[in-house]
Amino acid sequence: MSTSNWGKDRKENGGLKAAIYVRVSTPRQAEKELSITDQRNQAHAYCERKGWHVVASYEDAGLSGTDENRPQLQKLMDDAARPEKPFDVVIVHSFSRFFRDAYQFEFHRRNLVKHDVNLASISQETGDDPMGDMVRQVLNVFDEYQSKENAKHVRRAMIENAKQGFWNGGPPPYGYRTTVAETRGITEKKVLEIEPAEATIVRLVFELCGKNRGVRAIAAELNKSGLRNRNGKNFASTRVHEFLTQTAYAGRFYFNRTDTRNKRPRDPSEWVEIKTPIIIEPDTFDRVQRKLEARRPTNTPPRIVNGPTLLTGILKCGTCGGGMTLRTGKGGRYRYYVCNRSATEGKTACPGRSVRMDKLDKLVIEQLESRILSPDRLSEMLAQLIERNSKQSDQKASEVKALRKEFRVTEEKIGRLYDALASGTVEHTESFRQSVSKFEGMREDLLRRIASVERHRNVPVDLLTPENVKRFGKALGRQLRNPDSTLRKTYTRQFIDRIEARDREIRIYGPKHALAAGVAYGLDRAIEEVPVSVREWWARQDSNLQPDRYERPALTS
């Protein structure tokens, strides 16, 4: 039955009840092409000619026709399924206003038909006989093809716009606002500039993170201070994490990181870097990224970072090397570190051992303070570190020299590419841009490697003075005795890499570079400066003192 005949049959019973659905994808369509108002006016005129009564109107502005998650579309579908049947037909300007995806179009149209609701197009009238179905499906296929072609051309234009350093629209990252850099015809080219009030909050977030505050603690402190998000709401921990990982603050924003159709990340080779005004110095930003990486649950389980036990995660069984975890006895009155492998796999896997938690915690802190943090012991270990670095000086110097040579070669390759572009030998094609991007990535990687080698090569000997050694030992000792378990664990894990519990001794390993950074720069800076650990403390009886025998109580069940 054709749409017109179908309408004529129903008119005899008092006329059809019609619902209008209108949509535009972009603000430009709303202003310069087929506007919401124009679609609505044409739909009303169409219904008037047909003698249909408009009883409802649904509008989705700025939403893609390939996306079914449109609020008003979903409301229309829900209303169509209501038992009282509020309308008989849905009017659209063209089928593409309903959907630009052939499968989704037919799926939703059939849902309407199932509830005895027809779909009519003002500009593309078709019958609902087999011929009409075929015509409608052909139109849908062409609409989908046109949508994909448009998306391809828009994406190409946006990538080129980003490569020229311009902002492609949408809300700018927190801490920035957009400003018009130039006008080309009727098009305004915009770039990011710093929004002072928001940038102050961003800097505060990074400052608090540098003081070893977690994202939840930072969010709580911002809210307690009366600071609010851009939308006027409180800061959430997820928002704080977005701040801490936003590369734009360090001067580089990446466009085209995600496929907007399926929300999947794109390969980094497809990203486009846009230079942005710097809010956070790159070195500070990179230190925060290392800190966040170390705290990731995939690297360090949350129970190790936030749990109530001081040594979980670094305490190992001296027999099998497995982790020692918390067990309780006497209804929770007693707490023990026990070999997890023995507890879960049985005595055949490891004979196992258990140690009273309070006694071992106290023993480790006491031995650290008396045997490691004493000025004489600290000075001795730092002297060994300086001597070792001195012996490796030539090797490190050669490594830096080789890296710098490779850096110069990469710089020359980038220069030759741009010279060829300027002379007209090559064109500014996608292949050219990918080549430049590849060599620029190599250059950035070489800079990071050079900085890393230089940092480990240059021990701050002039700052390792007796006064700094003594001051550092006392400060760390105070923190290790701090009743705040979270803060105490932070410092313990920075300066201790591993503890092995044996029957008559414990062995403690830790990084001397962490000690050197702590003596030279202070505790907070040390935690930022030393991201990795190497076993170097109490590793051998001949060069490292070991603590006295500790009591080994039996596990009480």
Three-class HEC string of 191-225: EEEECHHHHHHHHHHHHHHHCCCCHHHHHHHHHHC
pLDDT at 365 over 50: yes
CATH fold of 3-150, please? Rossmann fold (3.40.50)
Average pLDDT, the chain: 76
pLDDT at 65 over 90: no
- At residue 70, the pLDDT reads 86
| Each residue's pLDDT tens digit, 239-270 | 999 999 999 999 999 988 887 766 788 888 88
| Each residue's pLDDT tens digit, 432-464 | 777 877 888 788 778 777 776 665 555 555 555
- At residue 551, the pLDDT reads 38
3-state class (DSSP) for residue 386: helix
User: Which is higher by pLDDT, 145 or 327?
Assistant: 327
Distance, in Å, from the CA atom of 198 to the CA atom of 204, rounded to the nearest integer, reads 10
CB 291 within 8 A of CB 209: yes
CB 468 within 8 A of CB 474: no
- At residue 5, the pLDDT reads 42
Q: Which pair of structure tokens corresponds to residue 276?
A: 């942005």
- At residue 102, the pLDDT reads 78
Tell me how many helices (H) and strands (E) the chain has: 21, 16
Single-letter amino acid, residue 398: S
Distance, in Å, from the CA atom of 124 to the CA atom of 147, rounded to the nearest integer, reads 18
Domain spans of the chain? 3-150, 193-299, 356-557
pLDDT at 308 over 70: no
Per 3-state DSSP, the chain is made up of helix, strand and coil in percentages (nearest 5) of 55, 15, 30
Top CATH class of 193-299 equals alpha beta
Single-letter amino acid, residue 17: K
- At residue 557, the pLDDT reads 28
pLDDT at 173 over 90: yes
pLDDT at 527 over 60: no
Residue 366: CB partners within 8 Å, gap ≥ 6?
none
Distance, in Å, from the CA atom of 4 to the CA atom of 332, rounded to the nearest integer, reads 80
3-state secondary structure 325-372: EEEEECCCCEEEEEEHHHHHHCCCCCCCCEEEHHHHHHHHHHHHHHHH
Distance in Å from the first CA to the final CA of the chain: 81
Distance, in Å, from the CA atom of 260 to the CA atom of 246, rounded to the nearest integer, reads 19
pLDDT category at 86 given cuts 50, 70, 90 is very high
Q: What is the mean pLDDT of residues 510-521?
A: 56
3-state class (DSSP) for residue 55: strand
Q: Which pair of structure tokens corresponds to residue 139?
A: 């139109």
Q: What is the mean pLDDT of residues 52-63?
A: 88
Cross-sheet strand order for the sheet of 17-24? 53-61, 17-24, 89-92, 118-121
Distance, in Å, from the CA atom of 108 to the CA atom of 125, rounded to the nearest integer, reads 18
Find which of 45-49, 308-312, 348-352 is predicted with most confidence, using mean pLDDT. 45-49
Q: Quick one: 394 exposed, middle or buried, by C-beta within 10 A (0-12, 13-18, 19+)?
A: exposed
pTM (two decimals): 0.44
- At residue 184, the pLDDT reads 83
Q: Which pair of structure tokens corresponds to residue 19?
A: 């619902």
The gap from C-alpha 227 to its chain's centroid, in whole angstroms, comes to: 23
- At residue 177, the pLDDT reads 93
**CA-to-CA dists, residue 460 to 464, 468, 516, angstroms:** 7, 12, 8
CB 58 within 8 A of CB 75: yes
pLDDT category at 281 given cuts 50, 70, 90 is very high
pLDDT category at 38 given cuts 50, 70, 90 is confident
Q: What is the mean pLDDT of residues 288-294?
A: 82
- At residue 299, the pLDDT reads 54
- At residue 62, the pLDDT reads 74
Maximum CA pair distance of the chain?
Answer: 106
User: Which is higher by pLDDT, 168 or 261?
Assistant: 168
| Each residue's pLDDT tens digit, 375-419 | 666 666 666 655 666 665 667 677 878 888 888 888 888 888 877
3-state secondary structure 430-498: HHHHHHHHHHHHHHHHHHHHHHHHHHHHCCCHHHCCHHHHHHHHHHHHHHHCCCCHHHHHHHHHHHCCE
